[in-house]
Structure 1
Amino acid sequence: MKRRIVKILCASAALLVAGVQGALALPAGTYGITVSKMNSNATLTDLQTISATADGTGKLSFLLSTLPNSDEANFIVFTIKDGNGAVVRRGIVPAPPAGDSNQVGINDLATDQAAAFIDAAQKAGSDDPILAAYLLTLLRSPEVSAADILKLGTLGKDAITGAGGFEDYIVTNGASPAKLAALKKCLIHNPDATKRTLRQFAKGFYTAVESNNATTAKDEMQKAGGLMADVFMDAAACADVELGLITNAHEAAGDAAGASGAITLGDPNCIAANVLTSIDQSMSAFNRKIGMVKMVTEYTNALNALGATGSQVNQFIAAATAMAQATAAIDAQYGEYFMNPAAYIQANGGDATTIRQAIDALYNTAWSTFQTAIASSNGEIAAMKATIMAVFPGITLPQDFGKFYDMSGTPNNWPVQQVVMVNWLMGLKMNGGSFSYTRATTPIPTMMQNWMGVCSNPQYWDKITCQNNGGTWTSQRRTYTTPSAAFNAYLGLQEDVSIAEMTKFSIWDNGNQPTSNQRMAAEQAFMAELAAIKANFVATKSAGGSSASSAEKSAVVKLMLQPQAN
């Protein structure tokens, strides 16, 4: 197809290649631009080579006669050579959908990222978009040598396509090869234009190049790197892959990456310490963000499944948006550290440990602010309790119903989404429907046994108080005996969900530091237990007997969990 690359003023509807301003700008002169298609086996087929002259700002404008679309290739490679034939810039961009266009900016970081991906792709023999996304996430520093680029290529191949790596984990733990293939395509092009893909990552570099300001360029490039968590989660939803599989697969990728030696200090294959520090911080930030994005996505989907509307949904969305903005600001604030840790420390003081602690503190603040922002008001809790008592006459609710206890033992109001879920269940009853639940039988984790059980003296509800007052404590699931079988079912369902969640967290008991394999196994077991709980939950929505959908039942179970950013 015909496509034109035009000057920046018209760039909104065209694919644009440009240099960077300031010290990184292309010197005045004539350059050769070769456009290549990356084939499925990662070999490159040159499509066209033309000449162009850098203007006074170091940018190039030129015409191209042919570019493949996303049905014909995953990636397009641009190679810019000076008059002596030396490569001065290289960039890679996802092929745009048919009839559409992408924006791309090529600078020194983009050049290094392209080199690392091309090397990894050719070692893997595949133009794998997951491999591209992984390396773009890892490499946010242009301070990387040619030798380290080759080591990163090997690392990426091992992490994504190697035994026990990302893709191996995905297909071994529930996603079909067809879904894995769909995940790759969705990273390039998502049919939902509101979702993020690698195109938005490329656009971030275009914005950086076009900005004419070194600070803005740095901020935009780091924001692009921070966007990758959203890109992966949106692609997973597009391909109908469990979001938990994606986060676990990244754990698996980290383990597989270690096989290359590229991230092991002292190993002859290890990359330079400064770049390794940058990669370590990039992945730490990515793992935090992908946990947050996963949580927001799952809770938003659950609210939508229950048809939630109004101020409570708006409250959750506003809180999630503010958290996303806060984490993007962290990427921008520490952009120079991501790019060159040693230079940042020299200019600002401190060391890698203190800077990482400062970054972690900002993420913790963003998370705490989010939790506060999604808390229900006292009035909303009171209204929910009044509805329950109206639907189930004779019910006596505990004084702390509608509250959860944080790690310090402080009671907090339920988040708005949990109130939405309870109100939805009450709505079923008011419409003539019903719900029931068959209790699970999985063991109660040790950490819960001091308060999950029954005392021979029923006025005591925890082990210590029970035994101190001469009672006998039996750790077991509680048998609820309110006047309503439906409300008893709700209480039992909530308790079993809590047991499943605490079982997942029990791998950290007694100060344990579980391995990534243990964390992945715990997450998989947790997902399986929630699926079993959902299967035992039966709900009808009206007197006519129409059943709650699978998505609605999943939403009820999800909204019984307190949000976790991991």
Structure 2
Amino acid sequence: MNKFKACVVCSILIAALTFVTVNAYAALTPGETYTVVMSKVNSNGSVTDVGSTTALADADGKISFSFSSVPTSPDTFFLVITVKDSLNEVVRRSFVPAPPENGTGQLGANDLSTTQTDMILETLFSAGTDDPIVVAYGLILTRTPGLIDSDIQNIAILGKLAIMNGFETSLTENGVSASQLQTFKEKIVYNQPNKDLSNFTALLKSAVDNPDQASDDMGKAAGMIADIFIDAAIAADIDLSLIQAAHDAAGDVVGTNSEAIVAFAAISDGTSSVIDAAMSSFFIRIGAVKVKTSYTNALNILDASDDQITSFNTAVQTLVTTMEELDKDYSQYFMNPLTMTDEIKTAMNNAYQTAFQTFQGAIADSDANIAQMRTNIVTALNAAYGSSMTVDDLADVGTYRDMDEAEINWPIPQVVAVNKIASIILAGGNLVYDRDAVATDYPVPDNMDWLNMGSGTRTDYEEMGMPASFAALMGMQEDVMIAEHTKWSLWEGGEPTREQQETAKLAYHDNMELITEGLSGTTDGSTPISGEVLKALVKMMEHPELN
């Protein structure tokens, strides 16, 4: 413990009743003195008290207090604040990530934070751990205040099994090292300036400080968990597709593990409906955050133009803002399980899907950039091969027709990738792609019988007379498309199980790795193209999607 090195916010406010909910906790009594106990969560999931103070409730039933000496991360992951009345009864409880040395933390406590903290402590103690992944998952599963004790106990069982037997097992079985997993956990706790659990608890404080926007803050906090997982994975250098597959593994445990099945069946109907809705929206949110992060990074690596980056980032920000608004709009239904009907769940999922479809349309590149790409191709090929190609020869390059036969410009990522190859060719470099390993391990699926003039086979672009580097790029793009259709075929028979989705995502991840391994080349005839650029080229050929 580092005395005077960190403090848990200079003004921690405990709210009077913030939400109108079933079985809500009573408001703090103005003028009454409360005891505030700070505890740390030990590595085995137990709790040790490390400090206490008193605070007088003001006229609004709020108390303010501070601690100047607290345990810090990474030695301690979490602190718990418990507020007791004169009868030593717990009236409020909240958790906060332990701040780093010389740092600060913020928290607020209300009836939802009390329920969440009770569930988190129950889960950690039963699992014998202080695992931050368990805590983050608990926040996804617990979005309703005032849960009955049996629901808390059963949700704790689900959280423990989903993470220990599902999420973490999936990661370690698919190549994530112990060091990477530990970094991932630490970054969930503290990862500034990126998102971490301190951002979540700061919104709890905002909800307490500003009752009029409390519901919005709580909805935004819930949606932020997806960002926290993705940012932590990037910091730990864990492939984002493995994170998505691990979440599927967690969901599969809930549906197949006998202990989890019994626990879920014992949860009250309203609460189980909210859990189902929370997990569904979380899967959509984490897919969107993955797209936002991975494509933005790849665009920068491949030297996208300023206006392309601006256009893409604008589309991303619109998507983020829309989803944050949806988090707020639907937060009220999580607060009261009785309102979370099947109709509301369907409307919520459709709203998130519509937001993402709008994003997909918004990232189509401009006519000017499509024209410039054609010019770049002509310039590169004429210089490298002495050809006399004109822009008119590429009139069909850069657009495609959608399901309604409307002509649509290529998305920005695809245009950026083609421009990158054109610049490499112009500089005397080349791109090489060996398709043999991919073709052997991943045949063309039945749902692509239209491929290559209806033959259902891979296209030999060099045989068609295409220059070698562009033939390599087009071959790689076709193999990415084959990998995507192989994964998408899983949905043709209806909604697949979480186990099936995990298997499909892991196979897709392996396919992408194999495609990347097949790429090589030089930037100028002698300098190898970096692995970072090759990986970004593959990413640019993927269709942005949520699964």
Query: Do they superpose with TM above 0.5?
Result: yes
Q: 2:513 aligns with which of 531, 535, 541?
A: 531
Q: Name which of 343, 356, 361 aligns with 1:354.
A: 343
148, 152, 156: which one aligns with 1:149:
152
2:255 aligns with one of 253, 258, 264? 258
Change in 2 beyond 3 A, CA 1:36/1:259: farther
What TM-score, normalized by structure 1, do the two folds share? Answer: 0.88
Structure 2 CA distance, aligned partners of 1:5 and 1:107?
A: 24
Task: Please report how far the alpha carbon of residue 120 of structure 1 lies from its aligned counterpart in structure 2 after TM superposition.
Answer: 0.4
- Asked if residue 561 in structure 1 is aligned to residue 538 in structure 2, the reply is no
Partner of 2:10: 14
Letter in 1 for 2:326: I
Output the CA distance in 1 between the equivalents of 2:538 and 2:429.
18
1:72 aligns with 2:75: yes
Cα separation, 2, equivalents of 1:196 and 1:267: 32
Alpha-carbon distance in 2 for matches of 1:262, 1:341? 24
1:477-492 to structure 2, matched below 5 A, reads: 477-480=459-462, 481-482=464-465, 484-492=467-475
2:118 paired with 1:118: no
Q: Does 1:236 align with 2:233?
A: yes
Does structure 2 retain, via aligned residues, the 8 Å contact 1:375–1:416? yes
- Cα displacement (A) at 1:74: 0.3
User: Are 1:47 and 1:66, in contact at CA under 8 Å, matched by a contact in 2?
Assistant: no
Amino acid at match of 1:535: E
| Distance change >3 Å, CA 555–CA 367, structure 1 → 2 | same
Q: Secondary structure, in 3 states, of the residue corresponding to 1:50?
A: strand
- Is the CA contact 1:4–1:64 (under 8 Å) kept in the aligned structure 2? no
Question: How many angstroms does 1:268 deviate by?
Answer: 8.3
Structure 1 Cα separation of the partners of residues 527 and 460 of structure 2: 30
Q: Does structure 1 residue 210 correspond to structure 2 residue 209?
A: yes
Asked whether the equivalents of residues 33 and 55 of structure 2 are also in contact (C-alpha less than 8 Å), the reply is yes
Which residue of structure 2 aligns with residue 187 of structure 1?
A: 188
Distance in 1 (alpha carbons) for counterparts of 2:255 and 2:220: 27
For residue 60 of structure 2, give the secondary structure of its aligned residue in structure 1. Answer: coil
Corresponding residue for 1:349? none
CA shift, 1:172, in A, is: 0.6
Question: 2:28 maps to what in 1?
Answer: 26
Does residue 177 of the first structure (1) align with residue 178 of the second (2)?
yes
Any idea what the Cα deviations from partners look like across 1:482-531, whole Å, max 9, x if unmatched?
2522222222222122112212212233x344322222112111111111
**3-state SS of the aligned residue for 2:105?**
coil
- Check conservation: 2:424, 2:524, Cα contact below 8 A: yes
Q: Is the 8 A contact 1:170 1:246 kept in 2?
A: yes
Equivalent residue, structure 2, for 1:522: 504
2:272 corresponds, among 245, 270, 276, to 276
Matched position secondary structure for 1:334: helix
1:179-238: CA deviation from partner (whole Å, max 9, x where unpaired): 111111010112xx221000000001000000032xx11110111001000000000001
Shift in Å at residue 333 of structure 1?
0.9
CA distance in 2, matches of 1:85, 1:177: 42
One-letter amino acid of the structure 2 residue matched with residue 557 of structure 1:
V
Match of 2:416 among 405, 415, 420: 420
1:379 equivalent to 2:368? Answer: yes
By how many angstroms is 1:309 displaced? Answer: 4.1
- Percent identity over the alignment is 37
Check the 8 A contact 2:6/2:101 in 1, yes or no: no
CA shift at 1:361, angstroms? Answer: 2.6
| Cα pair 2:18 2:214 within 8 Å, conserved | no
Alignment match, 1:317: 313
Q: Report the AA paired with residue 366 of structure 2.
A: S
State the Cα distance separating 1:239 from its structure 2 match. 0.8
1:263 Cα shift?
A: 7.6
In structure 2, the residue matched to 1:140 is 143
Deviation, structure 1 residue 341: 3.4
Q: Is the 8 A contact 1:152 1:262 kept in 2?
A: no
Deviation at residue 311 of structure 1 after TM alignment: 0.8
TM-score by length of 2: 0.91
Identify unmatched segments of 5+ residues in structure 1.
Answer: 346-351, 454-460, 464-472
Distance 1:357 1:296 in 2: 24
> Retained in 2: the 8 A contact 1:5–1:14?
no
Question: What is the alpha-carbon distance in structure 2 between the residues aligned to residue 291 and residue 317 of structure 1?
Answer: 17
Aligned pairs for 1:494-513 (under 5 A) are: 494-509=477-492, 511-513=493-495
Whether the 8 Å contact between 2:161 and 2:260 is mirrored in structure 1 is: no
CA distances 1:111-158 after superposition (whole Å, capped 9, x unpaired): 000000100000000011000000101111114112211111111111
* Partner in structure 2 of residue 201 of structure 1: 200
Asked whether the 8 Å contact 2:17–2:110 carries over to 1, the reply is no
Moved more, 251-260 or 299-308: 251-260
Following TM superposition, by how much is the alpha carbon of 1:65 offset from its aligned partner in structure 2, in angstroms? Answer: 4.6
Q: Which amino acid aligns with 1:507?
A: L
Partner of 1:547: 528
Per the alignment, residue 161 of structure 1 pairs with 164
- After superposing the two structures, state which structure 1 stretch, 23-32 or 175-184, moved more: 23-32
Q: Tell me if 1:85 matches 2:67.
A: no
Equivalent position of 2:448 in the other structure: 448
Distance 1:236 1:492, change over 3 A: same
Q: Provide the rounded CA distance (Å) in 2 between the counterparts of 1:206 and 1:172.
A: 38
Q: Is the contact made by 2:14 and 2:92 (CA closer than 8 Å) also made in structure 1?
A: no
The offset of 1:436, in angstroms, is: 1.6
Displacement of 1:50 = 2.1
CA distance in 2, matches of 1:330, 1:368: 15
Give the secondary-structure state (helix, strand or coil) at the position aligned to 2:546: coil
Instruction: Provide the rounded CA distance (Å) in 1 between the counterparts of 2:530 and 2:421.
Output: 13
Cα distance in 2 between the residues matched to 1:532 and 1:38 = 43
